[in-house]
Structure 1
Amino acid sequence: MKRLGWTVSSWGLALVLTLPVLALVYEALLPTEDIFHHLWSTVLPVYIGNTFWLVLAVMGFSLLCGLPAAWLMAMCELPGKRWLQWALILPLAMPSYIVAFVYTDLLDYSGPVQAALRGWFGWQSSTEYYFPPIRTLGGAAIVLGLVLYPYVYLLARTAFLEQSTNLIQSSRLLGCTPWQSFKRVSLPLARPSIAVGLSLVAMETLADFGTVHFFAVSTLTTAVYDTWLGYGSLNAAAKIAAIMLLVVTLLLSMERMSRKRQQVFQKTMEHEQETGYRLTGLTRLAALGYCWGLVTIGFLLPFAILCYHAVYYFDQAWNAKFFQYSANSLLLSTLVALLAILLAVMLGMSHRLKGRAYTALPMRLASMGYALPGTVLAIGVLIPLTGMDFAINDLALWLGLREPGLVLTGTMTAIAFGYLVRFAAMAVGAVESSINKVSPSLDMVTQTLGYGPGAMIARVHIPLIRKGILAGALLVFIECMKELPAALLLRPFNFHTLATYVYQFVSDEQLELGALPAIVIVLVGLIPLIFLNRSLEQHH
C-alpha cells in the first residue's frame, strides 16, 4: 500500500506539471477568434519567416564560431590552452539582451565607434558613409550566436576528444594534411554531437525574447507576448504558442535521432590527447586571436562595460529597489529550487521502488516543460490558473462570501508554478542520475532490516545522493534568477525580479542604471559553468 501511495503521488505530480501543455493544446483547438484570423492574414506569415531565418542564421553563426574553437582546443597545442578552453564557455553566462544593448550602444550612429569614424575621416552625417545597422535580423542573429556558440563548442570538443587517436594518426600516415584529416575523419565522427549542439542553439533562439524584442525583430515569441498583452486574446496567443510547440517538438525529435546515430559512431573512446598539432608562427597567432577574440566580444567586453557602468552609476543603482528586487529573485528562486528538488526526489524514488519501465514515465512527463520557450509556457500556465481564479470567485459568490480576486494569477503563485514547470527537468535529471548510481543491494538490505520506503529514503538514499540534490537545486536556482519571458508575463502587478528589472532599463535604453543587477545575474550564471568545466576536466 505504501508503494501504491508513492506511485499515485508521482503520477499526480507529473500530471500537475503537464497541465500547462494540456491546457495550451486544448485552448489552441477551440474555435478561432477573429483576432487570430486577422493576424494570420496580415503579419503572422512574416513572423514565421523571421523566426525561420533567425534560427537558421544563429545556427550558422554558432557553427562558424564554435566548431573551429572546439577543434583547436581538442587537437592543437596552444599557449594558455588550459585557461582558454574554460574561457570559451563564459558567454553562456551573459544574458543575450544585455549583450544586445552593449553592442547597440557601441555601434549605433551616436555610439563611440561611428563617432570616432566621423572624427577621423571628417564625415558629417550618415549619408557620407555606410555602416551596417545593428538593429536588424542579422544583428540579432550575431548577438545570439555570440552567446549561444558554446553549446556547439562544448559538444563538438567533447566529441573530438573522444575520437580514437589511431584513426587520426592513420589518416596522417596516408598523406592527409591536418585540414584533410579534420574534413574526412574528425568532422564525420563528430557530426551527431554537432547536430545536438545546433538543435540546442535552435531551441534557445526560438525561446529568446529579450534580444528580438529590443531589436524590434518580430518573431513568434514576440507575437505570443504582443497578442496576449496587446490584444488581450488568450485564444490567439495559445494558437501561436501551439505553432511554436510544434516547432520545438520537431527540433527535439531531430536531436533524438542525432543521438541515436551517435551510438553508431562513437565505438572507440580511447582518445586522450597528449600530442596535439603544434601550431607555430602566424598560424598560432591566428588561432589564439580567433579564440580570444570570441571570448572578448562574447563576454569580456560586455562584462567590462557593465563593470564600468556599475562603478560610475553605483550611487544611483545602489538603492531600495535593487535590494527589494534582489530579495524577490532570491526568495522566488530558492522556493522553486526547494520544490523542484522535493518533486525530483519523490519521482525518482517512486521509480526506484517499483523499478518498472512504465514508472519512469512520470519523470519524463514532469521534464516536458523545459523544452517550452518561456512565453509559450507562460500562456500554458495562465490558461488553467485563470480558470481556477474564476472558479474560486464564483464559488465565493455562491457561498455569499466576498470575492477574493486573483488568488493565483495575481500573486507569486503563477510565476513560481511557471518556473517549477520550466525547470523541474534539471532537478529530475540530477537526482535521477545520482539515484541510478546507488547499488540496488542497499535497498534489499534496508528492507531486510524492516525499514519502510520513507525511512529508507531518509536514512540511506538522501545521504548518498546529496551531491546530486545540491547540483540540481543550484541549477534550478540559477535558471530562475535569469529567466525573463516567463517572468514578464506571469509576474504580479508591480513585482520585479532582477531579470525584469534589468530588462526594464534595457528597454528604456538606460542599461547604465541596470548594470549592477545585471552583474549579479552574470556572476550567478558563472557558477554552473565552473561546475561544468570541472566535470569536463575530470573526464578528459
Structure 2
Amino acid sequence: MTVSAFSSQARQRSLPITIWTATALAVAAFVLLPVATIALISLADTGTLWSHVVAHVLPQAVWNTVVLLLGTGVLAISIGTGAAWLVTAYDFRGRGFVEWALLLPLAVPTYIMAYAYLDVLSPLGPFQGAIRWLLGYSSPREFRLPDIRSMWGAILVFGFVLYPYVYLTVRAMFLTQAANYVEVSRTLGVSRNLVFWRVALPLARPAIAVGAALALMEVLNDVGAVQFLGVRTLTASVYTTWIVRADLAGAAQIAMSMLVFVTALVLFERVARRNQRYASSAQRSRSMPPEQLRGPKALLVFALSLFPILVGFLGPAIYLIVAAVHRLEFAGFSPALLRAAINTVSASALATVIILILGFLLPYAARMRPGQGTPIAARVATLGYAVPGTVLAIGILIPVAAFDRTLDAWLRANLGWSSGLLLLGSGAALIYAYTARFLAIAVGGVEAGLSRLPLSFDHAARTLGQGPGGMLRHVHLPLTRPALTAAGLLVFVDCMKELPATLLLRPLNFESLSTLLYGEAARGTYEDAAIAALMIVAIGILPVILLARSGSAARR
C-alpha cells in the first residue's frame, strides 16, 4: 500500500458523518416510514372486527392469493422460459422480430389487459359472437364460453402480461451459457432436444427464480385486474376494507399479512441470486450457436414464439385501437381525458425528477463514503419496490395526514389562517408514494453505471484538485448519463401506470389516465376508457424498445 493510499484511508476513517451519509440515512428513513407506520397501525384495537376479518375475509383472500401466485408463476415460467429457449437455441425466419416483440406485453398494464379481454370475451363480445355465428347459434342462452371473470381468467391475464420478466432474465442466462457446455453434453450422448432439459434448464434455475419473483410481486401489487375479474386477493381486501368499510386499522392488519408474502418472495429471489455461481473455463467462452431451422419446423417455432405476443400485446392493442376510433368518431376527444393526461404527465415527471436525484445520490454516497453505513442505507432505500402500492398508500396516509393537521393547527393558533390538507390536497403524498415505490429502479440503474467506472477515475480527479462535488459534475454524472436516461424512462412509465397508490392518495378532483381508465371500466363503459388505455400502452412501448436494444447489444 502506498503512503498516499494509506493517508487517504486514514482521513476517511476520521471524517465525521458527512452530508453524503446523512442524505443516504434520510432517504432510507423516508422509505421505511410507511412500513413502520403500517406496523404501528396494525397494533390498534379493532374490537371484534379483526376476528371477523380472520374468520371470513383472510381465509378466502389468502387462498385466492396463493392460487393466483402459483398459477401465474407456472404460466409465466413456462411461457418465458420456453420463449427464451426458442429464440436463443434456434435460428428461423422471423426470429429477429419475435426476439424483441416478446417484450411488448411489458407495455400493457395488467388492468388494461383485464378490462380489454373482459369486454372481448364477454358473452356479448365479438369473440363469442363469432363462435356462435360459426356454430349456428343466435344468442348467448344457446351457447356461451366459461366466464373470464374467474380465477382461471386472472391467471391467464397475469401470465401472458408478466412472462417477459422471466423471459428477460432467462434469455440473458441462455445467451451467456458457453458453447462448450452444449458440446460436452452432445459428446456424452445427449440429443439436441434433451440439452434443454438436462443442461440449459438446470443452469437457468436461478434466473427463472429471479424473473418469477419479480412477476409475482407485480401480481401482489395489482388491484385493478383482480377486481375487474372478480378475484378477491389480499390486495383487493386491503382496498375494500379501507375505502368501502372505512376501517384503516383493519386494512393495515391485512397489509401486514401481505408483507409475509412479499418477504417470502424477496427471500426467494435473494437465495436464488446467491446460489447463481457456476464454474467457467478460463478461456474466452463462446455463445451457444443456434440451430438453423427450415420448412415446417421453422414455421412451428415461429408460431409458438408469436403466440404469447398475440395474446399478451397484439390482441389488447387491436381492441384498444378499434374502441378508441369508435369513441373518437362518436364523441370526439373528451376534455376530461386531456386533463387526466396533463395530470398524469405532470405528476409522473415530477416524481421522476425526484427519484432520479435521490437515486443518484444514494449510490454516489456509497461510493464516496463506503465505510459509514451508506451501502446499507442504499439497500434499505430500495425495499419500497417490494411493497405493494396499496400497502405503501396506507403507511403514507397516517404520517402525512398528521403533519397536515399539526401544521394547520399551528398556523391557526399563530397566524390565524388555515393551510388545510397541504400535502394530501396538493398531491405531495402521491409523489411520496411514487418515490418510495420506484426509487429502487433509479438506484439499480445508477449502481450499474457507477460500477463500470474504476476507482482510478476518482483518484485521478482528486489529484487534479476535485472534491466530491467536482467529481460529480465533471466525471460521474457525464459518464452515468445513459444509465440515468434509461432509469428515468422506466420510472416515468411505471409512475404513469401505477394504479393502487394513485387511487388511494390522489387529491380531490384529480384523475390520471390510470384512474380514469379504472373508473370507466368499473362502470362497464369500456370504449370511454380505450383512449386512455391506448395512451398508456403507447408510452409504455418506449422502455420496451430500450430493453430490446440493450438485449441486441448484449448479443453482439
Question: 2:114 pairs with 100, 114, 125, which one?
Answer: 100
Following the alignment from structure 1 to structure 2, what is the Cα–Cα distance between the partners of residues 267 and 426? 33
Normalising by structure 1, what TM-score? 0.95
Amino acid at match of 1:499: S
Amino acid at match of 1:427: A
Deviation at 1:396, TM superposition (A): 3.5
Question: 2:181 pairs with 148, 167, 180, which one?
Answer: 167
Following the alignment from structure 1 to structure 2, what is the Cα–Cα distance between the partners of residues 370 and 61? 23
Deviation at 1:468, TM superposition (A): 2.1
- The equivalent of 1:186 in structure 2 is 200
More displaced, 498-507 or 394-403?
394-403
The answer to whether residue 330 in structure 2 is matched with residue 312 in structure 1 is no
**How well do the aligned residues superpose, as a CA RMSD in angstroms?**
2.1
Following the alignment from structure 2 to structure 1, what is the Cα–Cα distance between the partners of residues 446 and 134? 59
Following the alignment from structure 2 to structure 1, what is the Cα–Cα distance between the partners of residues 321 and 279? 45
The answer to whether residue 516 in structure 2 is matched with residue 475 in structure 1 is no
CA contact 1:163–1:266 (8 Å) conserved in 2: no
- CA deviation digits over 1:461-510, x for unaligned, max 9? 22222222222222211111111111001101110111111222221222
Following the alignment from structure 1 to structure 2, what is the Cα–Cα distance between the partners of residues 20 and 222? 19
Amino acid at match of 1:390: R
Amino acid at match of 1:497: S
CA contact 2:446–2:480 (8 Å) conserved in 1: yes
CA contact 2:21–2:373 (8 Å) conserved in 1: no
Question: 1:418 pairs with 424, 433, 437, which one?
Answer: 433
Following the alignment from structure 1 to structure 2, what is the Cα–Cα distance between the partners of residues 266 and 63? 26
- The equivalent of 2:148 in structure 1 is 134
Question: 1:145 pairs with 153, 159, 162, which one?
Answer: 159
- The equivalent of 1:31 in structure 2 is 45
- The equivalent of 1:299 in structure 2 is 313
- CA deviation digits over 1:218-239, x for unaligned, max 9? 0001011111101111111111
Deviation at 1:137, TM superposition (A): 0.8
CA contact 1:317–1:516 (8 Å) conserved in 2: no
Following the alignment from structure 1 to structure 2, what is the Cα–Cα distance between the partners of residues 2 and 498? 47
Following the alignment from structure 1 to structure 2, what is the Cα–Cα distance between the partners of residues 396 and 254? 49
Amino acid at match of 1:487: T
Summarize the alignment of residues 428-439 of structure 1 with structure 2, pairs less than 5 Å apart.
Answer: 428-439=443-454
Question: 1:88 pairs with 84, 90, 102, which one?
Answer: 102
CA contact 2:100–2:548 (8 Å) conserved in 1: yes
Question: 1:456 pairs with 471, 474, 478, which one?
Answer: 471
Following the alignment from structure 1 to structure 2, what is the Cα–Cα distance between the partners of residues 400 and 292? 66
From the superposition, tell whether residues 266 and 98 of structure 1 become closer, same or farther in structure 2 (CA, over 3 Å). farther
Summarize the alignment of residues 398-409 of structure 1 with structure 2, pairs less than 5 Å apart.
Answer: 398-399=413-414, 401-409=416-424
Following the alignment from structure 2 to structure 1, what is the Cα–Cα distance between the partners of residues 354 and 488? 9
Summarize the alignment of residues 331-410 of structure 1 with structure 2, pairs less than 5 Å apart.
Answer: 331-356=346-371, 358-399=373-414, 401-410=416-425
Deviation at 1:183, TM superposition (A): 1.2
Normalising by structure 2, what TM-score? 0.92
Following the alignment from structure 2 to structure 1, what is the Cα–Cα distance between the partners of residues 359 and 168? 27
Amino acid at match of 2:251: A
Deviation at 1:400, TM superposition (A): 6.8
From the superposition, tell whether residues 64 and 462 of structure 1 become closer, same or farther in structure 2 (CA, over 3 Å). closer
Amino acid at match of 2:492: F
Percent same amino acid at aligned positions? 38
Query: What's the secondary structure of 2:424's corresponding residue?
Result: coil
- The equivalent of 1:77 in structure 2 is 91
From the superposition, tell whether residues 46 and 438 of structure 1 become closer, same or farther in structure 2 (CA, over 3 Å). same
Amino acid at match of 1:179: N
- The equivalent of 1:443 in structure 2 is 458
Amino acid at match of 2:382: S
The answer to whether residue 158 in structure 2 is matched with residue 158 in structure 1 is no
Consecutive unaligned residues of structure 2, counting only runs of 5 or more, are: 1-14
Amino acid at match of 2:75: F
Query: What's the secondary structure of 2:204's corresponding residue?
Result: helix
From the superposition, tell whether residues 265 and 229 of structure 1 become closer, same or farther in structure 2 (CA, over 3 Å). farther
Amino acid at match of 1:114: Q
Following the alignment from structure 2 to structure 1, what is the Cα–Cα distance between the partners of residues 162 and 35? 26
The answer to whether residue 540 in structure 2 is matched with residue 525 in structure 1 is yes
Deviation at 1:317, TM superposition (A): 4.9
Deviation at 1:353, TM superposition (A): 1.7
Summarize the alignment of residues 238-277 of structure 1 with structure 2, pairs less than 5 Å apart.
Answer: 238-264=252-278, 270-274=285-289, 276-277=290-291
More displaced, 314-323 or 238-247?
314-323
Following the alignment from structure 1 to structure 2, what is the Cα–Cα distance between the partners of residues 193 and 68? 13
Following the alignment from structure 2 to structure 1, what is the Cα–Cα distance between the partners of residues 255 and 467? 45
- CA deviation digits over 1:276-299, x for unaligned, max 9? 223344433222111112111111
- CA deviation digits over 1:112-167, x for unaligned, max 9? 22223333333355554462211101101101111011111222222222222222
- CA deviation digits over 1:201-259, x for unaligned, max 9? 21111111111011121000101111110111111111111111121111110111111
Following the alignment from structure 1 to structure 2, what is the Cα–Cα distance between the partners of residues 266 and 329? 48
- The equivalent of 1:40 in structure 2 is 54
Consecutive unaligned residues of structure 1, counting only runs of 5 or more, are: none
More displaced, 468-477 or 26-35?
26-35
CA contact 1:227–1:233 (8 Å) conserved in 2: yes
- The equivalent of 2:66 in structure 1 is 52
More displaced, 136-145 or 512-521?
512-521
Query: What's the secondary structure of 1:408's corresponding residue?
Result: helix
Amino acid at match of 2:243: L
Amino acid at match of 1:216: G
Deviation at 1:344, TM superposition (A): 2.0
- The equivalent of 2:75 in structure 1 is 61
- CA deviation digits over 1:291-336, x for unaligned, max 9? 1121111111211121122222225352322221111111111111
- The equivalent of 1:283 in structure 2 is 297
Query: What's the secondary structure of 1:404's corresponding residue?
Result: coil
Following the alignment from structure 2 to structure 1, what is the Cα–Cα distance between the partners of residues 450 and 364? 8
Query: What's the secondary structure of 1:110's corresponding residue?
Result: coil
The answer to whether residue 233 in structure 2 is matched with residue 230 in structure 1 is no
Following the alignment from structure 1 to structure 2, what is the Cα–Cα distance between the partners of residues 186 and 377? 39
CA contact 1:98–1:506 (8 Å) conserved in 2: no
Amino acid at match of 2:458: D
CA contact 2:223–2:235 (8 Å) conserved in 1: yes
Following the alignment from structure 2 to structure 1, what is the Cα–Cα distance between the partners of residues 451 and 132? 63
Amino acid at match of 1:494: N
Following the alignment from structure 1 to structure 2, what is the Cα–Cα distance between the partners of residues 490 and 382? 7
More displaced, 299-308 or 250-259?
299-308
From the superposition, tell whether residues 118 and 299 of structure 1 become closer, same or farther in structure 2 (CA, over 3 Å). same
- The equivalent of 2:528 in structure 1 is 513
CA contact 1:213–1:222 (8 Å) conserved in 2: yes
Query: What's the secondary structure of 2:278's corresponding residue?
Result: helix
Amino acid at match of 2:48: D
Amino acid at match of 2:37: A
Amino acid at match of 1:96: T
Amino acid at match of 1:176: V
- The equivalent of 1:330 in structure 2 is 345
More displaced, 277-286 or 409-418?
277-286
Following the alignment from structure 1 to structure 2, what is the Cα–Cα distance between the partners of residues 468 and 77? 31
